[in-house]
Structure formats: C-alpha cells, structure tokens
Amino acid sequence: MLSQNRNRRSYIERFTVMFLAALFTVYLVSCSQEQTGPPKPKARPTVTASTPQPTKPAIDIHNTVAVIETAKGAIEVEFFADDAPKTVENFLKNARLEYYNRGEFHRVEPGQLIQAGSRFPIDATIEIETSERAPVRGILAMAKAEGATVADAAQFFICLDTLILDSDYTLFGQVTKGLDVIDNIAIGDQIMSITLREKG
C-alpha cells in the first residue's frame, strides 16, 4: 500500500513538472511572437512597361558644327548643307552613331591630305554631289575608289592644301578651327570622338 502511494505521488509529480514545462514553453513562444510581430507580406515584383527611350532631336544640317577630337587637338567643322545635303546628313548620322569614334587616320599624304573613316567595315556608297567649290586647304571631301562614280559613305579626307583632283568629289565641309591640328596628324592617330553642336 505504501509502495502504491509512493508510485502515485511520483507519477503526479512527474506529470505536474511536464505540465508546467509545457505551459512555460507556450508562454515563451507567445512572448517571442509578440516581440517580432506578425509576418510582413513580401512585396511582389512589379512589372512595368518599358520606358520608351527619348528620341534624339532631328539634326539641322544648316546650323550644325562638328568637333572632331583627336590626341593632337580638336578640329571644328562647318558644313556645306546647300551644296551636299545628303552627304552632310550621312556624315552627321555616322558621327551621332559614334561610327567614327576610335577610327584611325589611315592615310596621310604630307602637304596634301589626311584620310579617316568609320572603324566598322561599311561598304555603303553615296552619290556624288558636285558644286563650284574648290578642294582648298581645310576642305572635307568624301573619298572614293579610283574611277568610281559614287563616293564611299564612311571614308572622308581633309585637304592640307589646294588639290588637283582627277574627277568629281563631294566637298561637304570646311575646317573652321584646328588647321594647325590637321597639319600634325600622323598615320594611326585616332578620332577619339565627334560631338555635334549648334553654330554660335
């Protein structure tokens, strides 16, 4: 009888300890939830329509100056938009697309001309636009293959002096600043960039 009472007491004590431990655990869990608060909803990734890129304003070929930056200095050019509108538009488009950036002056004939072009292998041609102008010092002209009746759309040269040309060439611009720079250009010198701005 005494043994049964002891077993019952021991059982009650163990049950009481387990019950209290369970209550304490529930209490701890509820306290930690109160401190952290309810879980916050995660933001859903938003899908936005692609923002259209702003279009560049049209170039006014009659009022644009190109600044050709080289390691030797800057060369500023104004254009003969009335004499060679298609060629001027083509040159300005190529400049705006950065086709000439890092292109090299690959032909230098001292006292005659320096020639450069796009760094991309462009085989496009453009019709020759003739005028009464002469290929004098500082004039820009489009290059062409010997005997060709069209000009290369990417290659151009700058006259270092008055040239006697054997056929028609498109003369489309004039160096207004940097004549000393063109005299110092050597084969391999690069066009770092061409920027466009309005006259004045």
pLDDT reading at 70 higher than 90? yes
Same domain assignment for residues 79 and 32? no
Is 36 buried (19+), middle (13-18) or exposed (0-12) by CB count in 10 A? exposed
Confidence at residue 153, expressed as pLDDT on a 0 to 100 scale: 94
Mean pLDDT of the chain: 84
What pLDDT digit, counting tens, does each position of 94-120 carry?
999 999 999 999 999 999 999 999 888
What is the band of 122 on the pLDDT scale with cuts at 50, 70, 90?
confident
Question: Is the residue at 54 inside a domain?
Answer: no
**Are 101 and 156 in the same domain?**
yes
Q: 106 with 157, same domain?
A: yes
pLDDT band at 4 (very low <50, low <70, confident <90, very high): low
DSSP letters, 149-189, are SEEESS-EEEESS----SS---EEEEEEE-HHHHHH--TT-
8 burial (CB, 10 Å; 0-12 / 13-18 / 19+) is exposed
Residue 44 within any structural domain of the chain? no
What pLDDT is stored for residue 43 in this prediction? 41
The stretch 21-45 carries a mean pLDDT of 52
Q: Tell me: do 27 and 110 sit in the same domain.
A: no
- Select from 63, 69, 76, 79 the least CA-distant residue to 199: 63
Instruction: Specify if 20 maps to a domain.
Output: yes
How much is the pLDDT for 65? 98
Q: Which domain holds residue 79?
A: 64-198
Tell whether the model's pLDDT for residue 17 goes beyond 60: yes
For residue 68, give the CATH number of its domain: 2.40.100.10
Question: Does 104 lie in the same domain as 139?
Answer: yes
Domain count, the chain: 2
Give yes or no for a contact between 66 and 196, defined as CB atoms under 8 angstroms apart: yes
Residue 43 in any domain: the answer is no
pLDDT band at 30, cuts 50/70/90? Answer: low
Do 139 and 68 belong together in one domain? yes
- pLDDT for 132-179, tens place per residue? 999 999 999 999 998 899 999 999 999 999 999 989 999 999 999 999
